[in-house]
Structure 1
């Protein structure tokens, strides 16, 4: 990445909709291009309005690549290749050139506001190489924007000042909203300086990681310790209390998925009387509470956590797997899938992993839990029985007989770490064989930079949660086998996962809750292109990201793990009334863009999984010695 930057053009977008090259308008401009460390070309664009009267207009920077039939779009956190694959039932923006219908959130052109992006950047490739444009969330003209289009067979990368959202706006609902195309009111003689970066990329689609690493490095906070509200130990104590006080119910023993902040007005009517066995609640968080209770000598926590895990292990579906979800109204059932007999692989595999870890820890301390081990073994045996010849696991299973109902997506990766750890704990070579076969089966998806289908609620969308599964699985294989191929896959999976991680602090309006409390978004993850809000589920693999960074001596992974843990030691309620919550409560959603709720709002529900992943990461940091305070 040396020499001259890829050529780019600047144009003016007027309020009446027409576009002109900037040199043909009433705007004068100068540009300065410098080559910086990391191979980027830094551009400073000084634009001056020469009109005789105020004028409404925006600016577009455009970079055109050569012909291709696969531009490989990447807008970190919000757009991945075509983004929504055919057959995905969840509506969200999709790229297609085959008769796109904007009413169905389809287009061959997408322009997006920058705060939707984990890094305000857009990447694309032609047949010989690629390029990236990178900017900041805001400029002197307001909220910035990124975008892309196909000009015939040529990919076009774009930046907008101020942002434009076209052809329609996605706000989290199935119905698109009209385009949002604000301009800037220029006064005669006004000058604005715009900054952006241009990167020339090679043909390897994984080159995006060099750009994101460069952005991450040069925007590192001066004092990460100023971000968290509480220490790791304090966060663990608060989260344990929150999980026990607000989410645990003893009859039957469950961790309720949500608890409303407003207990007086809503009481239990605002709570969700249900428990998934993992994902939204269940085994991972009961295991974390058990771990904390053992460390702190809290018998109430230990008893509650053990009872929840007993309840999960003692109520298997006829097929021999866990059920996905318990509800007060219907007992054990299939969870959020539309078919009452369809069990999601990720939900089952993740529950098996964390119940196994709890069982191994208890046995190691002289407190064997044979019923937990038996339940895990039963689940793994169903997964192995249905493993495809190429090594892939099903994405969904029939609750009655364990037959595979669906192979689409990569949710089956959730079985890999459970199988590896079970093989080690129980000296079961067949589990390791199955895990290795699956590792090979899912390698093409990792190498093609597209993982999808992990959560129950967004069908086949690409999500940050898919990346967490891949990191867990390939690091487990790497640590067991020591094979370079697995370590490389774990690194590649981590790089893809970190495309969802915010590299900057969103500028929240000061009148909003997040603005008033000074929430720092760097280190948080976009949930997915379908669910455009910040969430904390990345804490589920903080220990693995630390171990990966240690093994590879890669500061990018270590810093990213520290930032993730620091970020979500904000907004854990320190006392009753803190941000209108009760002590130990943690919200699921931080609204950083125009999706679901106005920017700067906070979902006023405590979620068991949000409290639980924080507790899990803090306990791992304390035990592993990588707490940053």
Structure 2
């Protein structure tokens, strides 16, 4: 593989100019320090004089030659965001003017990447600057493809401030003239493309550069378990009119926290199945009989009322309560993410209970019936669907999120060794992975959006690892690595520095390790916990330590802002174990309109994910301790 050179402010490959920097005589001086193979630290020194009328913008522009087939601002823009129906920023221009985003809107500090046939080139700001910084991209007819950093921080022409919503641009005026010379720095990372969409080296280098900004582990595993159980049992659980289960979270109303019961889901936001299974583990580990009663009550009522004769499973109990036995309605849509949760959690519950001497064959039967439905309704291409009506008609066919069902079939195969399940899983994965390779991103994971996102890549990654473990075929491991690089583009690599006037600044919140949601929702959540274990596996199978580091950063980030029962935010005392769903790390609205705050929405799913990660290890420790005690006695 050829080496790139940086000479005379030009990036060269085999003597040919790949890119260069913008030059203006007398306004600045550039130096480039080689920091390893194909990586440079770019320093630009501005000499502030009276010769220029205004010094309200200090730009750094890197210009690629050749046709750019793919570009990306991590977590913000994936080749224009043209997939989907949302009104998030599309393309490079807003009414003819380049989109300019604040550096903290991206998971890599003011990070951008553009790829030609010859090179995948990424740049990002080297450190937090008192002025802040911004990034923009533009196809300039006579210059090439421009990637620009701007100091101070600016956003415009409009600010994307809430889902499908905009506000006026934010253009800061700098007052940083205490020095005659101002120095701004950026990293440049480049390599010859090894994939059609090659962002792995860019993201790996960005992670390495920011290692010193790592998070801090705030709670022990035992504390996380105890707080999570407290929240699940005492604030989320309820029994009413024959239903036993969990609300989707708590909202503030009339000076207190109130359960939100309008969505009662088996998985996704509600996580009824996962929380019920964790209660069964609470019994298995600690012997709490009430946890067993509740866990069984939840799963029994779901299996008794939600399973359909065709094998489908009604995913929202609030709609079961509304429609009862009138299943021929077009309001209920049973989606891939919820169906996956039903399959995997019911099978896990079945086996755990069998070990405890409790028979629940219905759980296994229900899970395998869903798998059978999926294989019978799979399209010839291997494609599955995002959701079905109760009668088996597809309500939404599009989106990588359908791969949740391929992953579910891997568990179905493990359960009964059905060749039909395995073949369908392989075909489904193949379809969705080819789609990912074609576009460089995944789509439609969240049920309330239709856009490029993070969540839809999670089943693609986990299914690849499941198929690798089942078949031993290395192509699945290679696929897992590629999907993981995409998921890494949603992870925050650094800590945004917030002022004391902001809520996040007062909370001391650290962004590193957190993951942004989608190009339609610009905020951080803990959903990365869903691929924590997959990244730990990937580190084991590849020997690359970076995946273990990224996984641990996911976990540590997700431990922030969990209430111990005394936490007060904006005058609201948070219940023990509760945590906000969203952290608004950029100019994004809470329901009250503040930037750099929290969502004020205490959801069930983040608690469910943490308990799920811990429960098998906790049970294994208990069993090992019991064996040791028996051996000693």
Specify the alignment match of 2:626 in structure 1.
none
Q: Is the 8 A contact 2:516 2:523 kept in 1?
A: yes
State how far apart, in whole Å, the 2-side matches of 1:50 and 1:264 are.
58
Post-superposition shift, 1:101? Answer: 6.6
Please say if 1:498 is aligned against 2:488.
Answer: yes
Please say if 1:508 is aligned against 2:498.
Answer: yes
Specify the alignment match of 2:578 in structure 1.
585
Within a 5 Å distance, the mapping from 1:25-64 to structure 2 comes to: 28-51=27-50, 55-64=54-63
Point out the more displaced range, 195-204 or 470-479.
195-204
Specify the alignment match of 2:71 in structure 1.
73
State how far apart, in whole Å, the 2-side matches of 1:92 and 1:445 are.
22
Please say if 1:9 is aligned against 2:24.
Answer: no
Specify the alignment match of 1:619 in structure 2.
615
Post-superposition shift, 1:329? Answer: 9.9
State how far apart, in whole Å, the 2-side matches of 1:413 and 1:164 are.
39
Please say if 1:477 is aligned against 2:442.
Answer: no
Post-superposition shift, 1:259? Answer: 1.1
Post-superposition shift, 1:458? Answer: 0.6
Specify the alignment match of 2:246 in structure 1.
255
Within a 5 Å distance, the mapping from 1:329-348 to structure 2 comes to: 331=322, 340-348=331-339
Q: Rate the CA distance shift 1:166–1:222 in 2: closer, same or farther, 3 A.
A: closer
Q: Is the 8 A contact 2:401 2:457 kept in 1?
A: no
Q: Is the 8 A contact 2:468 2:477 kept in 1?
A: yes
State how far apart, in whole Å, the 2-side matches of 1:118 and 1:150 are.
23
State how far apart, in whole Å, the 2-side matches of 1:228 and 1:539 are.
15
Count of matched residue pairs: 591
Q: Is the 8 A contact 1:52 1:188 kept in 2?
A: no
State how far apart, in whole Å, the 1-side matches of 2:481 and 2:465 are.
8
Q: Is the 8 A contact 1:524 1:535 kept in 2?
A: yes
Q: Is the 8 A contact 1:48 1:189 kept in 2?
A: no
State how far apart, in whole Å, the 1-side matches of 2:461 and 2:564 are.
32
State how far apart, in whole Å, the 2-side matches of 1:544 and 1:624 are.
19
Deviation readout 1:507-559 (Å, 9 max, x if unpaired): 12223332223122111100111111111111122122211211111111111
Q: Rate the CA distance shift 1:576–1:29 in 2: closer, same or farther, 3 A.
A: same
Post-superposition shift, 1:198? Answer: 1.3
Partner secondary structure for residue 391 of structure 1: coil
State how far apart, in whole Å, the 2-side matches of 1:381 and 1:606 are.
36
Q: Is the 8 A contact 1:527 1:534 kept in 2?
A: yes
State how far apart, in whole Å, the 2-side matches of 1:289 and 1:151 are.
59
Q: Is the 8 A contact 1:312 1:322 kept in 2?
A: no
Post-superposition shift, 1:624? Answer: 7.5
Query: Root-mean-square deviation (CA), in Å?
Result: 2.6
Q: Is the 8 A contact 1:250 1:304 kept in 2?
A: no
Post-superposition shift, 1:188? Answer: 7.6
Partner secondary structure for residue 118 of structure 2: coil
Specify the alignment match of 1:431 in structure 2.
421
State how far apart, in whole Å, the 1-side matches of 2:127 and 2:273 are.
38
Q: Is the 8 A contact 1:451 1:463 kept in 2?
A: yes
Q: Is the 8 A contact 1:356 1:418 kept in 2?
A: no
State how far apart, in whole Å, the 2-side matches of 1:530 and 1:293 are.
41
Partner secondary structure for residue 250 of structure 1: strand
State how far apart, in whole Å, the 1-side matches of 2:618 and 2:197 are.
34
State how far apart, in whole Å, the 1-side matches of 2:597 and 2:238 are.
29
Q: Is the 8 A contact 2:266 2:315 kept in 1?
A: yes
Within a 5 Å distance, the mapping from 1:187-206 to structure 2 comes to: 187=177, 190-203=180-193, 204-206=195-197
Specify the alignment match of 1:16 in structure 2.
none
Deviation readout 1:231-276 (Å, 9 max, x if unpaired): 112111111111111111122112100113x5771443x6344311
State how far apart, in whole Å, the 2-side matches of 1:379 and 1:56 are.
63
Q: Is the 8 A contact 1:474 1:487 kept in 2?
A: yes
Q: Is the 8 A contact 1:149 1:155 kept in 2?
A: yes
Specify the alignment match of 2:88 in structure 1.
92
Q: Rate the CA distance shift 1:614–1:331 in 2: closer, same or farther, 3 A.
A: farther
1:152 to 132, 141, 163: 141
Deviation readout 1:536-591 (Å, 9 max, x if unpaired): 11112212221121111111111111111111122111224454311111110111
| TM-score normalised according to structure 2 size | 0.87
Q: Is the 8 A contact 1:590 1:600 kept in 2?
A: yes
State how far apart, in whole Å, the 2-side matches of 1:111 and 1:342 are.
38
Q: Is the 8 A contact 2:387 2:394 kept in 1?
A: yes
Specify the alignment match of 2:103 in structure 1.
114
State how far apart, in whole Å, the 2-side matches of 1:574 and 1:266 are.
17
Partner secondary structure for residue 161 of structure 2: coil
Deviation readout 1:316-361 (Å, 9 max, x if unpaired): 356432223222895469xxxx961433222222332222222233
Partner secondary structure for residue 189 of structure 2: strand
1:444 to 422, 426, 434: 434
Structure 1 regions of 5+ residues with no counterpart?
11-20
Q: Is the 8 A contact 1:45 1:194 kept in 2?
A: yes
Q: Rate the CA distance shift 1:109–1:313 in 2: closer, same or farther, 3 A.
A: farther
Structure 2 regions of 5+ residues with no counterpart?
12-18, 622-633
Q: Is the 8 A contact 1:84 1:92 kept in 2?
A: no
Q: Rate the CA distance shift 1:416–1:357 in 2: closer, same or farther, 3 A.
A: farther
Partner secondary structure for residue 57 of structure 2: strand
State how far apart, in whole Å, the 2-side matches of 1:93 and 1:59 are.
24
